[in-house]
Structure 1
Amino acid sequence: MDENRFDSVKDVKWKNVSDGKGEIKFTNRRTKAKLKGLFKGVAFILIAAVSGGVSGAYIVNKKYSNKAYTPINQSLIESKDEDAKTKAVDLPKTNITKVAETVSPAVVGISNKAEGYFGVQDVGSGSGIIFDPNGYIVTNNHVIEGATKITVKLSSGKTLPATLIGTDPRSDLAVIKVDAQNLPVAKFGDSSKVKVGDIAIAIGNPLGEEFSGSVTAGIISALNRKIQYGGAIYKVLQTDAAINPGNSGGPLCNETGEVIGINSLKIGAEANAEGMGFAIGINEAKDIIKSLMDYGKVSRPSLGIYGQGVVSEKNNIQGVYIREVVQGSGASVAGIKPTDIIIELDKKKITKVEDLSDVLDKHKVGDTIQCKIWRNGKTIEVNITLSDVKEKNR
């Protein structure tokens, strides 16, 4: 045998046997390779399992950390909560938020107190708007009507007694005053620029002091609505912003924080309607407020008559039937008598009482206007000088 035959074979071992003779045995390399591959596979599986577990825990912790508080994710949750608080502070303010912050300090709660069986009692409440830093407040006439004592609660929580400056039942407006200075005031806007669809924000005390400073928002639903209420005709803005009892006298604002109306009326469940609130346009209110401040009342031109709309099919006459003429009024001086029917005023055809108001609103006390009446089958033309006549409920 060639001695160098196995020099290049590495897997050669000597094995001793019982007869003392040496025997050569070859070990198969393929078996070792299989064992090594098996060990590598097991190691790979273990590593993959550990890695998958760690990754899964991370994903679960990230996605559900706000729902599952465990010792593992507690510190991470607290850190994220702090970040969320910081981000919330940095959120930009909406226009409604800005309006609420600007106007709310000038909105007050008003309590109407009167003598009752058990002494002075609360008989009503509403809201008001501070428009002068020296304590002048505008509200609705029906909020303070019949009051023997009026109290005002400022946005700061301070309560003060108020005195009545003047009222105007026809417009349902009133001005009161508290003894205070440097109060926050609301800015009056221009209601003639208001358009249907504009944002409308109402602020006030719906249902009383318990809900003071409530803010609701909607849109302007309609302009120049004519609403008849309590014997008076109101020219108002309509909005679907929630207006409830106690909101009366509070501001209706645009999205820049200007007061465009004074909340006054609501058609509610009794009319099977929702989202129909009304506010007196601020342009109309401005002149009334000034007059109340200067004179304690509002001077309006009047014919000096009380009547109602009528249609006579027999004579084909339609107009305003006169039931009463006020003594000393312009109508009385012009010779107007009860049972006369006004068919034309200032060259405008008259068919109902509201038509008279439309004409008179365009004039002032002292103006002389032309009037046509129907009397005993004849048309008579007279000139009436408008006067300031104290109105009464009829």
Structure 2
Amino acid sequence: MDDIRNDNNQPDYSGAEMDNHDDTTIDAVNQANDAIQDTAGDTVQADSPGAGMSCSDPQHTAPAGEIYAGGAHAGEVHTENSASSRGPETFGYQAGGPVDADTRKQTYYSENIKKTRQRKTGVGHLILVSLISSLLGAGMMFAAVVYVAPMIDAKAVEMLGLPMRTADVSGSEGGIIKKVEIAQTSSPVEAIAEKVSPSIVGIQITVPARSSFSFFFDISGDGVGYGSGIIIREDGYILTNNHVIEAAMAGRTSNALIDGAKIEVIMPDNKDKPYKAQVVGRDEKTDIAVLKIDAVGLPAAEMGDSDEVKVGELAVAIGNPGGMDYMGSVTAGVISGINRTITFDNGQEFRLLQTDAAINPGNSGGALVNSRGQVIGINTVKAVATDVEGLGFAIPINEASRIANSLIQYGYPKDRPSIGVVIDTSFTKEDADRMKAPNGLWVNDVQPGSAAEKAGIQPFDIIVKFDGREVRTFSELENLKLQHKPGDEVEMEVFRNGVPLKLKIVLDEEKRSN
């Protein structure tokens, strides 16, 4: 078709023949032609601050309060703090960022925007545009739901560490889409309790009088005490704390019971039929005791490795706080600390696991369990203080198992070295200063026939060094001693009557009296 132009040098198709086009298309073309002519020469109103001015000047800054009438910033108000100067390269703007200086269009601004003549729009065009927009929007939504949402769900499931199921779903074009669902799962604590609880028993002791009580207050005023224990062998061996049963014992180191006292083990699945228990062995220093009942086929607990315990990992305490009415109680928390040193009034020092899982009187002797349902500790005491809450402690299972095996085999901790002295733990540095003596350990008594007596150590000596290292507390002496075995010769330095002495001592093996 020839290029026909009108008087304004604009293309004119009013009389041209148009093949394969209907009247509606011709009308649309004519309307476009009219629009070009109508807008030719439009300028800003004469009474506006920018009359006769176009914004093609790249250095121009819109005055405060002026409004853009057209372009990407139509209707925006400029204040004194919002200059519109963009520099020579970026004055013109369009959607998505600056327009290059070579392709930008002039944008007019005015306080009173000139109203241009309304042009008719065909209904068919509106329907067509609306239909296309709807189809595009639906397509984008479908893509987001089908392709993006599963990826987000899968990532969330991966981050949460939850199990998930996938199913193949056919896509709109024959493709395979992975549908991800979060599988319903039970609590890990629930699974742990189900696995371990059958191995946790109740321990009840009965004493004829209130002549002896546990310093861990597991004994009630009526002569009956309660605690917890762990089945460690299918043939009836039970692991518990020494302090749970000590009130029923005839002596500090004896395995015999007080006359009239008894110890009973209560199974979680048969509370009405307690088993009579005998003491296989016990160790005051580690607070470990082993009992034996006449039963076989018991559900023994699985032991873990306390050396692998990490701060922050899951910890579940299972026991019987408050007696048999609350048998099998489960509390959960985390490992708060490892190798915590706890020293009691008798000077005995324990290195324990710390947890915030609730451990109350009666929980003593129960299990502290990891996320795999393995016993990692023996619950032993809950710190009681007005300003401390949530401090629970457990004996590491590696230490407890080592002592338990020795108790089962020998009745006492085998190969534990002994010195044979009684230390006064109330002796302080201030006492030593008043005596003008070095700080150390005050020997209150020496056991007859012991290694200390054979080495010449006497009551009222002050032990200053053991194996060449200074000692200031009973626990320091114990730790150094346990680095040796019975029969080892060790040098000790003592202070006697103002004179330092060096003595040689051959360590004995610690024995148990029955």
Instruction: Report the TM-score, using the length of structure 2 for normalisation.
Output: 0.55
Which residues in structure 2 correspond to 1:92-107 (within 5 Å)? Answer: 92-107=185-200
Query: In the aligned structure 2, how far is the partner of 1:113 from the partner of 1:313?
Result: 48
Residue aligning to 2:471: 350
Query: Within 5 Å, which residues of 2 pair with 1:93-242?
Result: 93-116=186-209, 123-147=224-248, 148-157=261-270, 158-229=273-344, 231=346, 232-242=348-358
**Letter in structure 2 aligned against 1:98:** A
* Aligned-pair CA distance for 1:391: 8.6
Give the Cα–Cα distance (whole angstroms) in 1 for the partners of residues 428 and 244 of structure 2: 34
Match of 2:277, SS state, is strand
Whichever residue aligns with residue 153 of structure 1, its letter is I
Deviations 1:7-61 (A, max 9, x none): xxxxxxxxxxxxxxxxxxxxxxxxxxxxxxxxxxxxxxxxxxxxxxxxxxxxxxx
1:135 Cα offset (Å):
0.8
Does the residue aligned with 2:228 lie in a helix, a strand or coil?
strand
The equivalent position to 1:335 in structure 2, one of 429, 433, 456, is 456
For 1:143 and 1:333, the matched residues in 2 are separated by: 36
**1:339 corresponds to which letter in structure 2?**
F
Which residue pairs with 1:83 in the alignment? none
Superposition deviation, residue 93 in structure 1 = 2.4
Equivalent residue for 2:366? 250
Equivalent position SS for 1:317:
coil
Q: CA deviation at 1:223?
A: 1.2
Give 1:273's aligned residue: 388
Q: Are the aligned partners of 2:437 and 2:498 in contact in 1 as well (CA < 8 Å)?
A: no
Contact 2:412 2:511 survives alignment (8 Å): no
SS of 1:343's equivalent in the other structure is: strand
* 1:260 matched residue in structure 2: 376
The equivalent residue for 1:17 is none
Instruction: Label 1:253 to 1:375 Cα distance change in 2 as closer, same or farther (>3 A).
Output: same
Question: Are the equivalent residues in 2 in contact too, given 1:201–1:253 (CA < 8 A)?
Answer: yes
Between the two structures, name the one with larger relative contact order (CA 8 Å, sep ≥ 6).
1
Instruction: For residues 234-253 of structure 1, give each alpha carbon's deviation from its aligned partner in whole angstroms, at most 9, with x where no partner exists.
Output: 22111110001110100001
Secondary structure in 2 matching 1:333: helix
Contact 1:111 1:122 in 2 (8 A): no
SS in 1 for 2:464: strand
Matched-pair contact (CA < 8 Å) for 1:196–1:223:
yes
Task: State the shift of 1:327 in Å.
Answer: 1.3
Match of 1:344, SS state, is strand
Q: Which runs of 5+ in 1 are unaligned?
A: 1-89
**Distance in 2 separating the partners of 1:230 and 1:149:** 27
Separation in 2, partners of 1:135, 1:174: 14
User: Offset of 1:170 from its aligned partner?
Assistant: 2.0
**Aligned residues of 1:192 and 1:283 also touching (Cα < 8 A):** yes
Q: Which moved more, 1:252-261 or 1:367-376?
A: 367-376
Counterpart of 1:267, as a letter, is A
Percent identical residues:
44
Q: Please report how far the alpha carbon of residue 186 of structure 1 lies from its aligned counterpart in structure 2 after TM superposition.
A: 0.6
Q: CA deviation at 1:379?
A: 2.2
Whole-Å separation in 2 of the counterparts to 1:310 and 1:274 = 30
Inter-CA distance 348–163: structure 2 relative to 1 (3 Å threshold): same
Q: Partner amino acid for 1:334?
A: A
Which structure has greater strand proportion?
A: 1
Deviation, 1:116, is 4.6
Cα separation, 1, equivalents of 2:437 and 2:444: 20
| More divergent stretch after superposition (350-359 vs 221-230) | 221-230
- Looking at structure 2, the residues matched to 230 and 352 of structure 1 have their Cα atoms a distance apart, in angstroms, of 13
Helix, strand or coil at the partner of 1:283: helix
1:364 aligns with 2:492: no
Per the alignment, residue 42 of structure 1 pairs with: none
Paired with 1:306 and 1:127, the residues of 2 have a C-alpha distance of 32
Structure 1 residue 385 displacement after superposition: 1.2
Aligned-pair CA distance for 1:307 = 2.1
Amino acid at match of 2:227: G
**2:485 and 2:313 mapped to 1: Cα distance?**
33
Post-superposition offset of 1:316: 5.8
Pairs aligned (count): 299
SS in 2 for 1:318: coil
Instruction: Return the alpha-carbon distance in structure 1 between the equivalents of residues 490 and 464 of structure 2.
Output: 14
The structural deviation recorded for 1:367 is 1.9
